[in-house]
Amino acid sequence: MTAEHKYAFYLGCIAPNRYPGSEAASIRTSKKLGIDLVPLEGASCCPAPGAFGSIDLNVWYAMAARNIVLAEQKGLDIALICNGCYKSIYEVNHKLKHNKELREGVNEVLKEIDMEFKGTIDVWHLGELLYDPEIVGVEKIRESIKVPLKGVKIAVHYGCHLLKPKKERHLGSTENPMWVEELVEALGAETVQYRNKMQCCGAGGGVRGYDLTHALDITNEKLTNMVEAGADAVVDLCPFCQLQFDRGQIEIEEKFGIKYDMPVFHYAELLGLAQGMNPSELALDLHAINTEPFLKKVL
């Protein structure tokens, strides 16, 4: 399929370094659905909202604005696959467009590197583009499936930054959203509802770096609720949430003696499987939790 929609693809830090399958899957599956993800050369850290945004807002604004300007220079909207990156880049773009004083201050900084924020583009999470029927939509995803993922139950984790604050986001309810479940069910899988679905993964806001035990307490509670609902796997839209659920299970076993063996996938990886990509192309062997038992059920 020839790409109909082109976006500057902002990778972030964790996907290419820890889950490269998410990067590969995003590019290849999007191409089949009419989206061309063009590399955003020269991009830096978003920067991370918990680390930078809570310590120095001026640095947070300037670094995010620089990434936005790179896309402005290409004349392309940004598409990304991480909720934390979305928090930083989407919100800075929004704030600078609507706050003249802030925009002028940031541009004073950017002037030192011969750049200027102009406010000419928008920022999207790839999940939003996949769900939008004017761009892709659930039906087109369903039509692209070669290997329906039947016989498995999926617990969806939305993450904190994708939907909140609601007044500054593109999509839906922040209390009980169901649009990611629709995307998962388009792949042939069944989704489950579980207690405290909208609770944080435990890692956000710098908690993972500052107090790992507390972060894992939250992750452990979510995993317990998912298991009780009968889930075979976790699906998220954020590599940092993915890291917390995936690597976090190893840490939970080490600290608390609780073992889950619950495979964790970014939605792009699951979409890649359903479109016919093989596990090695998705680098699923790099996941902390073994995905083989899940793969035997669906492939």
Q: How many domains does the chain have?
A: 2
Give yes or no: residues 173 and 100 share one domain. no
Selected residue with higher pLDDT from 58 and 26:
26
- Res. 27: pLDDT tops 80: yes
When pLDDT is cut at 50, 70 and 90, the band that residue 57 belongs to is confident
**Residue 91 counted as domain residue:** yes
Give yes or no: residues 122 and 150 share one domain. no
- Closest C-alpha among 249, 198, 267, 200 to residue 50: 200
- Res. 54: pLDDT tops 70: no
Amino acid residing at 121: I
Give yes or no: residues 217 and 254 share one domain. yes
Residue pLDDT, tens place only, 197-219: 999 999 877 788 778 999 999 99
Which range of residues forms the domain containing residue 189?
A: 146-298
Cβ-based neighbours of 277, under 8 Å, separated by 6 or more: 24, 25, 28, 29
**Structure pTM?**
0.94
Helical residues (DSSP H) of the chain, grouped into ranges: 14-18, 20-32, 57-74, 83-98, 100-110, 126-131, 138-143, 179-185, 207-210, 212-228, 239-256, 267-274, 292-298
Maximum CA pair distance of the chain? 56
**Residue 223 counted as domain residue:** yes
Give yes or no: residues 151 and 291 share one domain. yes
- As a whole number of angstroms, the distance between CA 43 and CA 63 comes to 9
Q: What is the DSSP letter of 47?
A: -
Selected residue with higher pLDDT from 2 and 66:
66
Six-digit token pair at 197? 């679905």
Residue pLDDT, tens place only, 217-229: 999 999 999 999 9
When pLDDT is cut at 50, 70 and 90, the band that residue 161 belongs to is confident
**Residue 132 counted as domain residue:** no
- Which of 73, 91, 126 terminates a domain? The answer is 126
Edge-to-edge strand order for the sheet containing 264-266? 190-192, 153-157, 233-236, 264-266
Q: Residue 35 pairs with which residues in a beta bridge?
A: 5
Mean pLDDT, residues 91-99: 96
What is the pLDDT, as a whole number, of residue 157?
97
- Res. 39: pLDDT tops 80: yes
- Res. 133: pLDDT tops 80: yes
Mean pLDDT, residues 275-280: 96
Q: The domain spanning residue 16 has which CATH number?
A: 1.20.1050.140
**Residue 119 counted as domain residue:** yes
Total residue length of the chain: 299
Mean pLDDT, residues 34-42: 97
**Residue 43 counted as domain residue:** yes
**Residue 139 counted as domain residue:** no
Mean pLDDT, residues 233-251: 97
- Res. 1: pLDDT tops 60: no
Mean pLDDT, residues 182-200: 97
- Res. 83: pLDDT tops 60: yes
- Res. 65: pLDDT tops 70: yes
Cβ-based neighbours of 135, under 8 Å, separated by 6 or more: 5, 34, 35, 129
Q: What is the torsional sign of CA 250, 256, 257, 260?
A: negative
When pLDDT is cut at 50, 70 and 90, the band that residue 288 belongs to is very high
- As a whole number of angstroms, the distance between CA 185 and CA 193 comes to 13
Is residue 212 within 8 A of residue 240, CB to CB? The reply is no
Give yes or no: residues 180 and 114 share one domain. no
Average pLDDT, the chain: 93
- Which of 126, 158, 176 terminates a domain? The answer is 126
- Res. 10: pLDDT tops 50: yes
Give yes or no: residues 179 and 72 share one domain. no
Mean pLDDT, residues 164-175: 66
- As a whole number of angstroms, the distance between CA 263 and CA 246 comes to 7
**Residue 238 counted as domain residue:** yes
- Res. 181: pLDDT tops 50: yes
Is residue 12 within 8 A of residue 85, CB to CB? The reply is yes
